[in-house]
Structure 1
Amino acid sequence: MKTYIKIILVFTLSILSVSCENKLDIDPSQSLTTEDAFDTPEKVTNILIGAYAQAGQAASYGGQLYTIAELLANDQELKWNGTFTDPGEFNNKVINTDNTFVANLWLNGYDISNQANIVLDNLDVFENLDRRNSVEGQAKFLRAVTYFDLVRFFSKHNNNRINDGEPGVPIIRTPIITLEDVTYPSRNTIGEVYEFVINDLEDAIVLLPETNGVFASTNAAKALLARIQLQIGNYEAARDLSNEVIQSGRFLITENLDDAYNNDDNSTEDIFAWQVTDSDGANSMNTFWATDRFGGRPGNPDISIEDAFFGIFDDFNDLRASYFYVDSETGSGIASYKWILGNANIPFIRLPEMHLIRAESNFILGTAIGTDPINDVNLVRFRSNAFLLSDLTYVDIILERLKELAFEGHKLHDFKRLEVPIGALSFDDSRLVLPIPQREINVNPNLLPQNDGY
């Protein structure tokens, strides 16, 4: 029976209290107080499920995080048609410190982190070691996911460790349950945040099972760590981790492009996806990226695809170049088929990304761990009916990332790590970094200094 557990968790960096409603298959309904909320494995596991649900909200991995990244990275490939002010600020690269999307991304991130911290602080209730390890690994995976994106959005790019000493985001390791637990931390350095995230994922890789249903597995932790190592320029680690995920044999690139998106269940290539159900999770990508025929807003999709985007394709037989539609009866612009179902899961880490990470890392290092880089790139191209390359350049690999991972939140971070300008803006322009929300600074002046340009 589908019922509701309301777990009252006092947390905030600034507001001092929030509550999180988790929908779980538990009977009967019950209200948990702070005195008894953590005294059994089932209750702690429920809080972990709540952390997944919180991550799947629209404010972050339910879609707005990807939309922020894509609009910030936009250089005439996209057009913002929407009426909401806040997303338009990302597209224009002029962001106010009271932008609600920014504030909600920050708060939701720390909500996820706090629930993960609560789980990690109550592991002693588990007598079964395997179950304890899995719960601990999942909590550390979710915490790592959150801090990785918080530091990428709210701090400068680490720039091959040059900016390690620059302000990052506050790391909070202990749970906040009551008002007495609230602290007012300063910002940790970028280097400290990356070290924290990498340590969490290294622990998660050891603790998690190889398969774990829709929840985080050791392969999901390896895949995320491969993404992180690529971001900071550690190509050897990125290569080896992506190779391990590929070699696990647990995942397979889908035969058809349609099978990779708009799924109720994970596809064969989903290493990890955010789950969207009738009771949990959200898919705001559908809201902003689809036309009203598929559940988006009336008229044009809020974000339409412009002609400039299609210049990255070298073969218009490539199915990814035609994975779009126009609702001519409403006069809509071009929309992507990736986000046409509002109740579909949101892919987070797909197998093609691992092949492209391995290809790029092998190319940079002059190695062929797993296979030659051209084979990885051609494997991704083959699914989309693009002609197979006979020779490979570094630009080919990056263009393949832009084609395969389009509209999934990667371009901004790729251009930063590759030091590629976005339009007239340098990769390290302050306008490509989100401001610390002003309401957070008002309550906690220790968050100063504010990011440059705000």
Structure 2
Amino acid sequence: MKYIKKNSYLLLFATILLTAGCDSKLDVLPTQSIDENVALGTSKDVEVTLIGCYDGLQDADLYGGGIQVTSELLAAGTELLFGGTYSNLLELYNKTITTSNTTALSTWTDSYNTINRVNNVLSALSVVDEEKRSRIEGEALFIRGSLYFELVRLYGKTWGDGNNATNPGVPLILTPTRVITEENQVARNSVAEVYAQAIADLIKAKAQLPLSNGNYATKHAATAQLSRIYLMQENYAAARDAANEVILSGDYDLEAQFSANFFTFLTNGGANPEEYIYSMIVTQQDGVNAMNTYFGTTVSSIPGTSGRSDIRISTAHRALYETGDVRGTFFITPSNNTFTRKHLDTFGNALVFRLAEMYLTRAEANFRLGTVVGATPLVDINVIRTRAGLAAATTVTLPSILKERHLELAFEGQNLHDIKRTRGSVGTYAYNSPKLILPIPQRETDVNPKLVQNEGYN
């Protein structure tokens, strides 16, 4: 999310960024005139461009926190308060979004910018060193599949709200865009088509990604993303099995203390906790965490904290916790307003998936299906409850499972999507209200008449 409105924006199909991060090359031809065989002529060129794909993914409007903030603000009913001054965020909070909203525009253009970088990588795999080729393709597909999933659930109707095969999703662009012509003016693919592409990308990514890959995408990250997609589709068996696979891998452990999942820079030296499956790494030199920007605040007694203090936590949310729940005390009230402690760390990593979510998904899916894969729903829920300092439950119901999910993953970017898939509501707005869907940016519909606008927007 941009702090100020840019003077100009890259349009959907005007992204011709092939070699992000190549400033070490002093004699560079204008990007528009570089022949693709020169721009991506070696394995090193493709590898550098892949780094550019990750750089795009960690943008503040994408997995650097912007996508998560958008979910939380759109889902804000009585549990969050917004005290900021940016009109684009206030529109999200008030459900009065306009087609010129800069958050809707930045998330769209930055996503397609990054997807175009990915498509350039995928188009040049033949020049990649053979021993690296499969991994690089897997990483690129993980990024593209993840972004199409996020785009379709922000800009399209939720899965199952009407006909998935005819509801408009977002355009699927699967080849590089280098020269802009009328042929680049494409219509929106259906919700079903976008989901199918995201799943296909991630299944292939999972097959080609390694189990360990430093700070980059791994096999388990792709599996966790697939689990989320299947859960959105109410494909509970597939969601359960993917979550179970991550849990049983043994590569991640629940932190003994709930609080250990946060303050990754201040108390963990910038390293991910054992519970993190995937995150966007933030350092003092690079990266940003928009969750810190908007949920965070400066606390004088905790050096290294910061934030705009825009998003506050209401008493209505805090009243949801049982007595003794450590999650219910994971807040701070430095003056008159209360903030979550999850996002105080200035250089805290931007979380994408952690293991607790996999336990919660497995519990819910097993309960809905009446199955016991990996563990019973009661056992999985008690893993989460006892870590939070609560007594083990003796029984579980679907509402109790969903409540544990809500409290455990609060302010981590999943609230809107959980409300939609469980057919809930945000205040007086039903899960399928057009007010809870972002508009196609006006700048995009102005230049591409084939882009049909969402219901409720002119």
TM-score (norm 1): 0.91
Counterpart check, 1:359 vs 2:363: yes
Counterpart check, 1:397 vs 2:401: yes
Match of 1:348 in 2: 352
Give the secondary structure class of the aligned counterpart of 2:151.
Answer: helix
Give the secondary structure class of the aligned counterpart of 2:184.
Answer: coil
Give the secondary structure class of the aligned counterpart of 2:392.
Answer: coil
- For the 8 Å contact 1:60–1:105, the answer to whether it is kept is yes
Q: Give the Cα separation in 2 of the matches to 1:179 and 1:285.
A: 35
> Which 5+ residue runs of structure 1 have no aligned equivalent?
1-9
Counterpart check, 1:311 vs 2:311: no
Counterpart check, 1:126 vs 2:133: no
Match of 1:203 in 2: 204
Match of 1:339 in 2: 343
- For the 8 Å contact 1:13–1:182, the answer to whether it is kept is no
- For the 8 Å contact 1:320–1:384, the answer to whether it is kept is yes
The one-letter amino acid paired with 1:273 is S
Give the secondary structure class of the aligned counterpart of 1:446.
Answer: coil
Match of 1:46 in 2: 48
Give the secondary structure class of the aligned counterpart of 2:53.
Answer: helix
Shift in Å, 1:206: 0.8
Shift in Å, 1:452: 3.4
Partner deviation per Cα, 1:9-30 (whole Å, 9 max, x = no partner)? x97425x246588558x97777
Partner deviation per Cα, 1:101-158 (whole Å, 9 max, x = no partner)? 11000001101111111111110012324x1111000100000110001000001111
The one-letter amino acid paired with 1:288 is Y
Match of 2:84 in 1: 82
Shift in Å, 1:317: 1.1
Tell me: CA distance 1:29–1:382, structure 2 relative to 1, closer, same or farther (3 Å).
farther
- For the 8 Å contact 2:253–2:355, the answer to whether it is kept is yes
* Pairing 1:293-312 to 2, within 5 Å after superposition: 293=299, 294-297=305-308, 301-312=309-320
Counterpart check, 1:174 vs 2:181: no
Give the secondary structure class of the aligned counterpart of 2:214.
Answer: coil
Counterpart check, 1:287 vs 2:305: no
* Pairing 1:215-230 to 2, within 5 Å after superposition: 215-230=216-231
Shift in Å, 1:68: 1.2
The one-letter amino acid paired with 1:121 is S
Match of 2:271 in 1: 265
Shift in Å, 1:267: 1.3
Give the secondary structure class of the aligned counterpart of 2:253.
Answer: coil
Match of 1:378 in 2: 382
The one-letter amino acid paired with 1:349 is F
Give the secondary structure class of the aligned counterpart of 1:397.
Answer: helix
The one-letter amino acid paired with 2:320 is I
Shift in Å, 1:391: 0.8
Match of 2:3 in 1: none
Q: Give the Cα separation in 1 of the matches to 2:290 and 2:165.
A: 33
The one-letter amino acid paired with 2:158 is H
Match of 2:302 in 1: none
- For the 8 Å contact 2:19–2:48, the answer to whether it is kept is no
The one-letter amino acid paired with 1:312 is L
The one-letter amino acid paired with 2:284 is D
Tell me: CA distance 1:21–1:71, structure 2 relative to 1, closer, same or farther (3 Å).
farther
Shift in Å, 1:348: 0.3
- For the 8 Å contact 2:120–2:176, the answer to whether it is kept is yes
Deviates more, 1:349-358 or 1:160-169: 160-169
Shift in Å, 1:448: 1.5
* Pairing 1:101-250 to 2, within 5 Å after superposition: 101-129=103-131, 131-159=132-160, 162-179=163-180, 183-250=184-251
Q: Give the Cα separation in 2 of the matches to 1:181 and 1:220.
A: 37
Q: What CA RMSD, in Å, does the superposition of the two structures yield over aligned residues?
A: 2.1
Shift in Å, 1:161: 7.3
Partner deviation per Cα, 1:41-99 (whole Å, 9 max, x = no partner)? 12111111111111111112112211111111111101100011110111111101000
- For the 8 Å contact 1:66–1:409, the answer to whether it is kept is yes
Q: Give the Cα separation in 2 of the matches to 1:79 and 1:21.
A: 41
Tell me: CA distance 1:161–1:250, structure 2 relative to 1, closer, same or farther (3 Å).
farther
Match of 1:7 in 2: none
**Equivalent of 1:325, from 329, 332, 354?**
332
Tell me: CA distance 1:134–1:190, structure 2 relative to 1, closer, same or farther (3 Å).
same
Match of 1:276 in 2: 282
Counterpart check, 1:424 vs 2:432: no
Shift in Å, 1:212: 1.0
- For the 8 Å contact 1:20–1:54, the answer to whether it is kept is no
* Pairing 1:60-75 to 2, within 5 Å after superposition: 60-75=62-77
Q: Give the Cα separation in 2 of the matches to 1:113 and 1:96.
A: 25
Deviates more, 1:176-185 or 1:55-64: 176-185
The one-letter amino acid paired with 1:363 is F
Partner deviation per Cα, 1:344-378 (whole Å, 9 max, x = no partner)? 21110100000111111100111110011111111
Counterpart check, 1:440 vs 2:444: yes
Deviates more, 1:46-55 or 1:434-443: 46-55
Match of 1:13 in 2: 12
Partner deviation per Cα, 1:307-332 (whole Å, 9 max, x = no partner)? 1112322x22111101010112xx4x
TM-score (norm 2): 0.91
Shift in Å, 1:291: 1.6
- For the 8 Å contact 2:11–2:443, the answer to whether it is kept is no
The one-letter amino acid paired with 1:369 is V
Percent identical residues: 37
- For the 8 Å contact 1:431–1:453, the answer to whether it is kept is no
Tell me: CA distance 1:444–1:393, structure 2 relative to 1, closer, same or farther (3 Å).
same
Tell me: CA distance 1:21–1:48, structure 2 relative to 1, closer, same or farther (3 Å).
closer
Q: Give the Cα separation in 1 of the matches to 2:342 and 2:64.
A: 14
Tell me: CA distance 1:19–1:135, structure 2 relative to 1, closer, same or farther (3 Å).
closer
Shift in Å, 1:279: 3.8
Shift in Å, 1:285: 1.3
Partner deviation per Cα, 1:144-179 (whole Å, 9 max, x = no partner)? 110001000001111177433211100000011344
- For the 8 Å contact 2:15–2:177, the answer to whether it is kept is no
Match of 1:413 in 2: 417
Tell me: CA distance 1:204–1:76, structure 2 relative to 1, closer, same or farther (3 Å).
same
The one-letter amino acid paired with 1:323 is F
Deviates more, 1:370-379 or 1:175-184: 175-184
